[in-house]
Amino acid sequence: MRRALPAGTLASMTRDDSILDDEAAWEAVQRRDPEFDGRFVTGVHSTGIYCRPSCGAKTPARKNVRFYRDGAAAREAGLRPCKRCTPDDVARDRQAVALVLPRLKAAGAPIALADLASGVGYSPGHFQRIFKRQVGLSPAAYGRALRMQRVDGALDGTDSVTGALYAAGFQSSSRFYEQAEGRMGMAPSVWNDGGKGATLYWAVVGTSLGDMLVAASEKGVCRLSFDEGVEDLRRRFPKADLVEGGAPFNCLLQQVIDAVEMPGAAYAHIPLDVRGTAFQEACWKALRAIPPGETRSYADIATAAGNAKAVRAAGAANARNHVAVLIPCHRVIRSDGSLGGYAYGLEIKRRLLKKERG
């Protein structure tokens, strides 16, 4: 015989014909699992608010939480809907995203967020949030991933794309990359011991500057170079597992290509997995702070990195940069105005600077 539960709990609620209990609901809330949106709402009795399971607000204390079948039941219990996650709009949000997905799948080029949002009656910011909550990626990143898939010839039916993205762990990877946003010099996983235990995803793509090798760990881009191939990567990371392509990597790769091909493109959000001494990392940060189209001297970089006298060490940090363009060492020139050196040849340096100056 089943234990009697207080009214308003999920004891009798069904999900896929199975009974979802309070424990499963609580686990979904702790995971902020969007799969459960619309299946119940989370009543937080300390604040008097109810939320959808995926609400991004701080997870409430378990003792203050009770679960309700829907918004109506929560309101009956005296609760108000959360303004942040708008738990009563789940169905409308789902429908809006469902309408936009085919548009993104059919598009061969990016569609402006404002255009997508107005098509379903949402403001751009709000639509971006609900889309991300459901899909795990922004509309722009999702569109980019679909286009990459298409380029790879992996697209043989629209449904399989989504399946492939999820199967490849795209959602969790993209979340990881978001968290890593703009960070540098992270865990030394790749850089110790020849990359032992690390998986590196890589590709060589043709660009206007020649063939470009891009490699990334799960933490971010660890190598960007020109005129190199997988053999060079293997020499650098002899103990790493090297994997060509893959959906999460391709999304990152597309952002890297944009950063290289489009002068002034934002790239600060692209995560890097690089490692140097504290001074080298300070130099790399200083390089990333140089606006596109501008140049600095080695003395400027040394000063920005906190040691004006270490001009030669700043030059060495430049030479030790493994991630061209994203750490823009090409923006450093000699104090007499001449180009100085560049690991991939002065022609590429000259062309990068010319692109950026427009």
Residues paired with 332 in a beta bridge: 296
Alpha helix stretches (DSSP H) within 168-261: 170-179, 230-236, 247-261
Beta carbon of residue 57, minimum distance to Zn ion (angstroms, whole number)? 5
DSSP labels for 91-107? HHHHHHHHHHHHHHHH-
A 10 A CB-CB count for 290 gives 19
Q: Is 251 considered catalytic here?
A: no
Smallest distance, Zn ion to C-beta of residue 69, A = 17
> Closest separation between CB of residue 94 and Zn ion, Å?
17
Among candidates 3, 40, 7, 44, which has minimal Cα distance to 24? 40
Which residues are CB-contacts of 54 (< 8 A; sequence separation ≥ 6)?
32, 33, 34, 36, 37, 85, 133
Q: How far is the CB of 88 from Zn ion (least distance, A)?
A: 11
Closest contact distance (angstroms) between CB of 175 and Zn ion is: 19
Measured from the CB atom, is 57 or 77 closer to Zn ion? 57
- Give the rounded distance of the alpha carbon of 110 from its chain centre: 17
Which stretches within 189-297 are classed as H helix? 230-236, 247-261, 278-288
Q: What is the DSSP letter of 214?
A: E
Q: Among the options 82, 85, 222, 329, which is catalytic?
A: 329
H or E stretch covering 316: helix 311-319
Contact between 263 and 358 under an 8 Å Cβ cutoff? The reply is: yes
Q: Which residues pair with 227 in a beta bridge?
A: none
Q: Which of 51, 55, 82, 222 is catalytic?
A: 51
The residue (of 84 and 350) whose beta carbon lies closer to Zn ion is 84
Classify strands 49-51 and 18-19 as parallel, antiparallel or unpaired. Answer: unpaired
Angle at Cα 32 formed by Cα 4 and Cα 105, nearest 5°?
Answer: 125
Question: Minimum CB separation from Zn ion for residue 78, in Å?
Answer: 17
Cβ-based nearer residue to Zn ion, 58 or 63: 58
* Nearest residue (CB) to Zn ion, 67 versus 237: 67
Residue with smaller CB distance to Zn ion, 65 or 259: 65
Whether 51 is a known active-site residue: answer: yes
Residues forming the site for Zn ion (CB under 5 A): 51, 55, 57, 82, 84-85
The distance between the two most distant Cα atoms of the chain, rounded to a whole number of Å, is 87
**Residue, CB closest to Zn ion:** 82
> CA nearest 271: which of 352, 202, 176?
176
Give the nearer residue to Zn ion in terms of CB position, either 82 or 327.
Answer: 82
Q: Which positions are annotated as active-site residues?
A: 51, 329
